Amino acid sequence: MTDTALREQICLLAKSLFDRGLTHGSTGNISARTGDGGLLVSPTGTSFGRLDPGRLSLFDATGRHVAGDKPTKEMPLHSAFYDTRSTAGAVVHLHSCHAVALSMMPDADPDDFLPPLTPYGLIKLGRVKLLPFFLPGDPAMGDAVRGLAGKRSAVMLANHGPVVAGADVEAACNAIEELEDTARLAMMTRGMGARALTEAQVQAVITKFDVEWDV
82 catalytic residue (yes or no)? no
Strand partners, 157: 131, 161
Phi-psi region of 79 (alpha: psi -120 to 50; beta: other; left: phi over 0): alpha
Cα–Cα dist 20/45, whole Å: 19
Annotated active-site residue in 49, 55, 120, 151: 120
Q: Which of 187, 185, 125 is nearest to 156 (CA)?
A: 125
Nearest to 60 by CA among 40, 74, 46, 45: 40
Going by C-alpha positions, the residue among 89, 208, 212, 211 that lies closest to residue 151 is 212
Cα 188 from chain centroid (whole Å): 22
- CA distances, 189 to each of 5, 156, 185 (Å): 40, 20, 6
Side-chain-side CA neighbours of 111 within 13 Å: the count stands at: 3
Q: How many helices (H) and strands (E) does the chain have?
A: 7, 8
Q: Considering only CA atoms, which of 93, 89, 61, 60 is closest in space to residue 76? A: 93
Q: Could you list the active site residues?
A: 120
